[in-house]
Amino acid sequence: MSNDAQTSTLTDGFHLVIDALKLNGISNIYGLPGIPVTDLTRMMQAEGMRVISFRHEANAGNAAAIAGFMNGAKGVPGVCLTVSAPGFLNALVALANATTNCWPMILISGSSEREIVDLSQGDYEEMDQLAIAKPLCKAAFRVLNAEDIGVGIARAIRAAVSGRPGGVYLDLPAKLFSQTMDAAAGKASLIKVVDPAPRQIPAPESITRALNLLKGAKKPLILLGKGAAYAQADKDIQALVEKTGIPYLPMSMAKGILPDTHPQSAAAARSFVLPEADVVLLIGARLNWLLSHGKGKTWGGKDHKDWGGQKFIQIDIASTEFDSNVRIDAPIAGDIGSCVSAMLAGIGNSWTKPPADWTNAINDKKTKNIAKMAETLAKDPKPMNFHSALNVVRDIFKAHPDTLLVNEGANALDFTRSIVDMYKPRKRLDVGTWGVMGIGMGFAVAAAVESNQRVVAVCGDSAFGFSGMEVETIARYNLPVCVVIFNNNGVYRGTDVNPTGGADVAPTVFVKDARYEKLMEAFGGVGVYAQTTAELRKGIEDALKSGKPTLINAIIDETAGTESGRITSLNPAAALKK
């Protein structure tokens, strides 16, 4: 047989990995090349996949994680590809973060020779990656033989997107890639996963129990979490809220499932509705720290651990979530789409709306708080503060509701969340359950790649620094991303001083008046130095018009932030004052 004839009937590990991913609708890879995956990235591109190459794996991992949030409900996880040991470790924070946030992501890392690694003989980038990944993700697999690649990728996809979504690690040792096998047998070994995220239909009695509880409520409240955004059951969720007439609160990444301007949104009366509500329906939201564990003063409890008296209905795909913090009186185990549509069917057309004294009281609070906020937003101080700068961002999102918003920082996060209204689902991507800094540029890249829409990333100057080098990636792929850095000279603010009077600045302080916009200019993008709201407005509007990679250095009063933004109370207080 000639060489040509021989190669045409063979396939190899590289191509089987690519074919298996493509067969399952995975077309975007976020990664960073190097031994042993350099050729894999080349071949992926040659085979028509979009390979986005990053400057650091942490950012590629974050990109894959948020791609999973955006597409997981359609059965497609985000995929990150890295080299062995250090590259793998760099992406591991993102994998753990994806798992914590219930986002489906597969981290594929090349690894070194098993027989050397397992005898600790000191291979190039030696590490038992599978063992290290395991406790940090939902599932971890290793494929040793080319004929198992189809199964390995199918298992990784199912583990990532089915049930409660999460991160999956897939270990591909270097030797796998060059293994050959008969091409027809290779093709036959691949698996197109049928129904990767199967519906989980709730038990009818769980729906009846929940509806009975909700019917008797005098002060009902719906809480929408990012699980509700993830599930892409937008129409049914909107219908449930509107048919019942129950006021609702969106968690950060659930903003926009219904427009934030919706008359039933109780967001502007949050601190009133949480302690007052008597029955709370949680849809894809956990009663974790972000909701004060469902108890304590936030919920009207006497002390920080006391129950406020609310009854909870919780829709979640993971039944282990129920009762994790307080009693769940009506758990509904199932996927949000199926659960909400079953509730809608049970509600029919004759639901009695909540008592008017409840909805009127909420509306009174809202009106007062919105008027107070409008007064603050109308001010235009020099230098800008968070409110005046965000007033600009708020106007821009109102006029461009399809734009995606990436958001990280402390004050830059908290103020943006409460000031900038979202009008459509899954447009707000942020630091999530961990409040992790560094998601900014990775999320921005994936947001642009996955959505084909404009992206605005509002980042604190500290937050931006974690992923700042990826402005080169944004410029290189010519992505329509406008990064807005709220530059207040440090972590939280820029005013701390070194108490010793020494030459080092305080731990929270950065170089004053740093010219971040030049970073983007260095790579051929547009840099804007914005000292006024007019300059900021023009900068963002120009970026949205042109679609050019843009970085706006928005100068914010360095005294404007507060320590830790809205979670100052989580800072341990020193027991001893020295």
Q: Give the binding site for ligand TZD (CB under 6 A).
A: 409-412, 435-438, 460-463, 486, 488, 491-492, 561, 565
**Strand locations in 213-328 (E):** 220-224, 248-250, 279-283, 311-316
Q: Which is nearer to ligand ADP, 213 or 224 (CB)?
A: 224
Binding mask 194-223 for ligand ADP (x = CB under 6 A): ------------------------------
| 316: contact with ligand ADP by CB under 6 A | yes
Q: Considering only residues 70, 130, 156, 251, which one is a binding residue for ligand ADP as defined by CB under 6 A?
A: 251
Q: Residue 313 has which token pair?
A: 């209905």
Q: Which stretch binds ligand ADP (CB under 6 A): 109-117, 227-235, 324-332, 460-468?
A: 227-235
Give the Cα separation of 465 and 438 in Å (integer).
7
**393 phi and psi angles, rounded to 5 deg:** -60, -40
Residue 473: CB minimum distance to ligand ADP, A: 27
| Count of other CB atoms within 10 angstroms of residue 261 | 11
For ligand TZD, which is the closer residue by CB, 194 or 570? 570
- For residues 64 and 94, what is the distance between their CA atoms, to the nearest angstrom? 8
Is residue 156 a contact point for ligand ADP (CB under 6 A)? no
Dihedral angle of Cα 111, 112, 118, 120, to the nearest 10 degrees: -120
Given ligand ADP, ligand TZD, none, residue 191, with its beta carbon under 5 to 8 Å by kind, binds none
Cis peptide leading into residue 383 (ω within 30°):
yes
Q: Can residue 414 be called a binding residue for ligand ADP (CB under 6 A)? A: no
Smaller CB separation from ligand TZD, 335 or 461: 461
Q: Which does 250 bind (CB under 5 to 8 A by kind): ligand ADP, ligand TZD, none?
A: none
The partner in contact with residue 245, picked from ligand TZD, ligand ADP, none with C-beta cut-offs of 5 to 8 angstroms by kind, is none
Q: Does 429 bind ligand ADP (CB under 6 A)?
A: no
Tell me the closest approach of the beta carbon of residue 468 to ligand TZD, in angstroms.
Answer: 11
| Sign of CA pseudo-dihedral 412, 268, 403, 539 | negative
Site residues for ligand ADP, 334-393, by CB under 6 A, read 335-336
- d(C-alpha 382, C-alpha 557), whole Å: 8
- Give the residue, chosen from 114, 219, 226, 311, that forms a contact with ligand ADP under the rule CB under 6 A: 226
Query: Binding residue for ligand ADP (CB under 6 A) from 41, 82, 97, 101?
Result: 101
Parallel, antiparallel, or unpaired for β 180-182 and 10-12? antiparallel
Q: Choose among ligand ADP, ligand TZD, none what residue 435 binds, the Cβ cut-off being 5 to 8 Å by kind.
A: ligand TZD
Q: Residue 173 corresponds to which amino acid?
A: P
Instruction: Using the CB atoms, write b or e for 527-563: b if 16+ within 10 Å.
Output: bbbbebbebbbebbbebbeeebbbbbbbbbbbebbee
Question: Phi, psi at residue 237, to the nearest 5°?
Answer: -65, -45
With CB under 5 to 8 Å by kind, the binding choice for 551 among ligand TZD, ligand ADP, none is none
Cβ distance to ligand TZD smaller for residue 214 or 441? 441
Q: What are the respective helix, strand and coil percentages of the chain, to the nearest 5?
A: 45, 15, 40
Q: Which of residues 264-303 bind ligand ADP (CB under 6 A)?
A: 284-286, 288, 290
> Toward ligand TZD, which CB reaches closer, 193 or 554?
554
Q: List Cα–Cα distances, 274 to 60, 260, 301, 570, in angstroms.
A: 38, 18, 11, 20
Which tokens hold the place of 379?
Answer: 């001010």
Strand ranges for 43-165 from DSSP E: 50-53, 78-82, 105-111, 139-142
* Residue closest to ligand ADP, measured at CB: 227
Q: Is residue 411 involved in binding ligand ADP (CB under 6 A)?
A: no
Give residue number: closest CB to ligand TZD. Answer: 460
Residue 567 binds ligand ADP, judged by CB under 6 A = no
> CB of 467 within 8 A of CB of 442?
yes
| 318 counts as binding ligand ADP under rule CB under 6 A | yes
Give the total of residues touching ligand ADP (CB under 6 A).
24
**What are the DSSP E strand ranges found in 327-446?**
330-333, 404-408, 428-430
Q: Which does 308 bind (CB under 5 to 8 A by kind): ligand ADP, ligand TZD, none?
A: none
Beta strands in 225-358 (DSSP E): 248-250, 279-283, 311-316, 330-333
DSSP H or E run through 551 = strand 550-555
Q: Within a 10 A sphere around the Cβ of 160, how many other Cβ atoms? A: 32
By C-beta, is 62 or 550 nearer to ligand TZD? 62
Residue range at the interface with ligand ADP (CB under 6 A); choices 91-99, 312-320, 345-353, 527-535: 312-320
Residue 492 touches which of ligand ADP, ligand TZD, none (CB < 5 to 8 A by kind)?
ligand TZD
Q: How far apart are CA 151 and CA 145, in angstroms?
A: 11
Cβ at position 63, least distance to ligand ADP in Å: 19
Taking each helix axis from N to C end, the angle separating 386-399 and 533-546, rounded to the nearest 10 degrees, works out to 30
**Residue 433 within binding range of ligand ADP, rule CB under 6 A:** yes
Q: How far apart are CA 321 and CA 324, in angstroms?
A: 6
- Answer yes or no whether residue 225 interacts with ligand ADP by CB under 6 A: yes
Contact of residue 384 among ligand TZD, ligand ADP, none (CB under 5-8 Å per partner type)? none
Closest distance between ligand TZD and the C-beta of residue 488, in Å?
Answer: 5
95 closest CA partner among 83, 110, 108: 108
CA distances from 251 to 41, 247, 284, 514 (A): 37, 14, 10, 33
Closest CB 381 distance from ligand ADP, rounded Å: 33
Which one, 285 or 457, has the nearer CB to ligand ADP?
A: 285
Q: Which stretch binds ligand ADP (CB under 6 A): 248-256, 365-373, 546-554, 569-577?
A: 248-256
User: Which listed option, ligand TZD, ligand ADP, none, makes contact with residue 284 (CB within 5 to 8 Å by class)?
Assistant: ligand ADP
* Contacting positions for ligand ADP (CB under 6 A): 101-102, 164-165, 225-227, 230-231, 251, 253-254, 284-286, 288, 290, 316-318, 321, 335-336, 433
